[in-house]
Amino acid sequence: MKTKLESLPLFLKEISRDYKYMLPLIFALAIFQGLSPLVNIILPKYILDELLYMRRVNRLLIYIGGIALGNFVFQLATSICRNHLNVNMYILELDAVKKLAIKATNISLENSEKKSNLDLLERGKEGTYNIITFVETISNMAASLITLVMVTGILIKNDWRLVFLILLCNMFTIPCFNRIRFLDIDNAKRGIPENRAFRYLCSVATDFRFAKDLRLYKGDKFFIKKAEEIMDKILIINHEYFTKHGFWNGLTQSIVQIQITITFIILGLSLLATRITAGTFTMLYAASNQLGRSFNSLIQGYTDLITLSVYLDPYYEFLNIEEIEKEGEVPNNFLIKPASIAFEDVTFRYPTAKEDILKNINFKVYPGETLAIVGKNGAGKTTIVKLLCRLYRPQKGRIFINGIDILSLPIEEYKKQLSIVFQDFKLLPIKLNENILGKEERFITEKETEMIWSKLEETGVKSWVEGQPKGIKSYLTKILDDNGLLPSGGQEQKIAITRALARDGSIVILDEPTAALDPKSEEEIFENMLKLTEEKTSIFISHRLSSTRIADRIIVLDKGEIAEVGTHEELMEQNGLYANMYNTQAKQYVD
C-alpha cells in the first residue's frame, strides 16, 4: 500500500505560521527527553567503578549527586515544556475544529451536499481528534533521534562493532513495522464508515430534540439494534486487526530481545576477560539497549505518522475545497433602492438529481413590486429563492440585481441587501435580541433595542415577549440556559420574520413564512408585510393561495417551467392551473 506523509509539511507550515511557540516547545521537549537517558547511562559507570575499584568517597558523592540532580533537572524541564505544549496542543485542536466549521459555512451548498464532501468532512473531524497525537509523535521522534546520535557516539568511542551488531539485528524489525503500518492504515480506512454510522446513531439517541419521535414510534429500540449491529461489525474488524497486529508486534519484541541477549553475552565475555570494567559493562549495555529502543522508536514513529496522515489528509483536503465567492468592488447602481430582479434563461439541477428542477426560467421583478411564486410541491419555487440567495449557482443562465450579475458582487455586501425567511428557518439557541440582530448583546445600542421592540410589535409577538421575565434578553431554547424560552411554532415564525425585517434589506424574500400560523394570523402578517415593504422589492412563496391576492403579480410554476403569469384576477379569468389550485383550496374551506 503506497502512502505519503502529505499532511506533515502542511501541518509544520501551519504551526510555524500561526503558533509561534509550538515548534520551539516541541524541539525543547525533544532535547530534554533525548538527553535525559544519558544521565542514567554514563554516571552509573563512574559510581560502580568507584564502589568496586577506587572507592573515593568524595567522587562517589559527586556522581550520586550528579545523577540525582541531572534526573531532577531533566524531569523538571521536561514537565514544564510538556505542560506548555499541552496547552498549545489543546488550542491547536480547538482551532482545527473551528477551521472546519468556518470552511463548512463558506463553501457553496452545492459542494456541501455532495456525498464525497460530506464523507470528507466527517473524516476531517476524525482527523482533528488525532492532532495532539500527531504533535506528540513528532516530538518523540525528535527525542529518539537525539538519543540515538548520543548513544551511538558513546558506543563508537568504546566498541564500534556493537553499533553494527545492534543496527543489523534491528534491521529485521523493519519488515515487521511495515506490516504493522499496513494493518494500521487498512484498519483506519475500513473502519471509517462503521465508526461514522455508530457515532451518528449515538448522537441522535442523545439529542433530546428527537426524544418524542424516538419514544413514540419505537425508534429507540430500532436505533439501539442498529447500533449493536454496527458495533458487531466494528468488533469483527478490530478483532482481525488486533490479532494480526499482536503477532507482528510480538515478533518485533522477540527480535529486540534477541539483540539484547547477544549484546549481553558479548559484553559479559569482555567483562570476564577483564577487557572492560564493571562500570563500562553497565554503560555499554545500557547504551546498546537505548540505541535499539531509539532506532525502533524512530521506525515506529514513522509508521505512526503515516497512519495519522490517513486521518489528517482529509482534514486538509476539506480545507482546500474551493470557495467560489470572490470579493470585489460594489457598483453604485447595485445600491439603488428599491431594486430590480431579473432571471434570464436560468436552468438548474441539484448535484444528486437526474433531471433539471428549473428549465430556462425568465422573469423580471420591477423595483418596489411584490411578486408571488406558486405551484405544486417540487415545481421549483424554493429553488428560485436559493439561487437568488446565491446558495447555488445555475448551470445555465444568469440572475441580475439592478442589471448587475449577482455572481460578480462581493458576497458579504450582497447578503446585506437580502431580508429572508425560509420555510425551514432555524433560530439559534442564543438570546432573542442576538437572534434578531445577529450580534452580541453588549454591542446592541439603545436605538437598536427600540427598533427590535417596534418590529416585534409589527409581527404580533411583542406582547408574548414582554410577558417573559427577561424580555428580549431571554435565551431561546434551554440548550444554553435552563430558563430559556420554548416558543410555539407560530411564535418562532413570527420571530424569524422579525429577524428578516430588522435586517432592512432592499429585497424581501419570504419562503412559506407563515406555514405554522392560522389563516387569520397569516392574513395579518401579510397585510403588515405589505406596509413594511412598500419601498422594497418582495418575493414570497405560499401554498395558501388566499394570501397571493395581495401580490402585484403572480408566477405559476409547473414542473420547473413558468406556466402562467399575471395578477390574481387575470389568472382567475384564464381558468388555468392557478384558478384550479385556488378553487380547490377555497372549496375545502367552504366545505
Q: Is the pLDDT of residue 2 over 50?
A: no
Q: Is the pLDDT of residue 335 over 70?
A: no
* Bridge partner residues of 419 (DSSP): 508
Q: Is the pLDDT of residue 135 over 70?
A: yes
* d(C-alpha 119, C-alpha 491), whole Å: 36
**Which residues, including other chains, have CB under 8 Å from residue 451's CB and lie 6 or more apart?**
502
pLDDT in tens, 183-198: 777 776 666 667 767 7
Least confident of 77-91, 106-120, 261-275, 437-451: 106-120
The highest-confidence range among 460-464, 504-508, 514-518, by mean pLDDT, is: 460-464
Nearest by Cα to 33 from 1, 68, 81: 81
pLDDT for the residue numbered 529 = 66
CA distances from 366 to 341, 358, 371, 492, 552 (A): 7, 21, 9, 31, 10
* d(C-alpha 90, C-alpha 85), whole Å: 9
- Mean pLDDT, the chain, whole residue set: 83
Q: Is the pLDDT of residue 326 over 80?
A: no
Asked if 63 contacts 50 with a C-beta cutoff of 8 angstroms, the reply is yes
* d(C-alpha 67, C-alpha 42), whole Å: 9
CA distances from 272 to 42, 268, 340, 398 (A): 21, 6, 100, 91
* d(C-alpha 53, C-alpha 65), whole Å: 19
Q: Is the pLDDT of residue 358 over 60?
A: yes
Asked if 67 contacts 47 with a C-beta cutoff of 8 angstroms, the reply is yes
3-class state of residue 213 by DSSP: helix
Q: Hey, what domains does the chain have and what are their CATH numbers?
A: 7-319 (1.20.1560.10), 336-417+507-521+536-591 (3.40.50.300), 421-504 (3.40.50.300)
* d(C-alpha 121, C-alpha 196), whole Å: 11
Asked if 318 contacts 520 with a C-beta cutoff of 8 angstroms, the reply is no
pLDDT for the residue numbered 589 = 61
Sign of CA dihedral 384, 387, 388, 393: negative
pLDDT interval class at 325 (50, 70, 90) = low
Share of the chain above pLDDT 70, in %: 89
In terms of pLDDT, which residue wins out, 28 or 194? 28
Share of the chain above pLDDT 90, in %: 22
Q: Is the pLDDT of residue 1 over 50?
A: no
Q: Is the pLDDT of residue 310 over 90?
A: no
Cα pseudo-dihedral 172, 173, 174, 176, rounded to 10:
120
Least confident of 310-319, 333-342, 353-362, 455-464: 333-342
* 137-161 average pLDDT score: 91
* 450-475 average pLDDT score: 89
pLDDT for the residue numbered 532 = 64
The highest-confidence range among 115-129, 225-239, 244-258, by mean pLDDT, is: 244-258
Asked if 483 contacts 475 with a C-beta cutoff of 8 angstroms, the reply is yes
**Which residues, including other chains, have CB under 8 Å from residue 519's CB and lie 6 or more apart?**
544, 546
pLDDT interval class at 109 (50, 70, 90) = confident
* 337-345 average pLDDT score: 90
* d(C-alpha 174, C-alpha 194), whole Å: 31
CA distances from 73 to 61, 67, 85, 87, 328 (A): 18, 10, 18, 22, 57
Nearest by Cα to 215 from 200, 228, 202, 205: 205
Task: Find where cell 417573559 sits.
Answer: 468
Q: Is the pLDDT of residue 69 over 90?
A: yes
In terms of pLDDT, which residue wins out, 110 or 275? 275
* d(C-alpha 462, C-alpha 455), whole Å: 8
Q: Is the pLDDT of residue 391 over 80?
A: yes
pLDDT interval class at 73 (50, 70, 90) = very high
Q: Which long-range contacts (CB under 8 A, 24 or more apart) does 351-354 make?
A: 351/110, 351/113, 351/114, 352/113, 352/114, 352/115
Q: Residue 56 has which C-alpha cell?
A: 573515593
Q: Is the pLDDT of residue 86 over 70?
A: yes
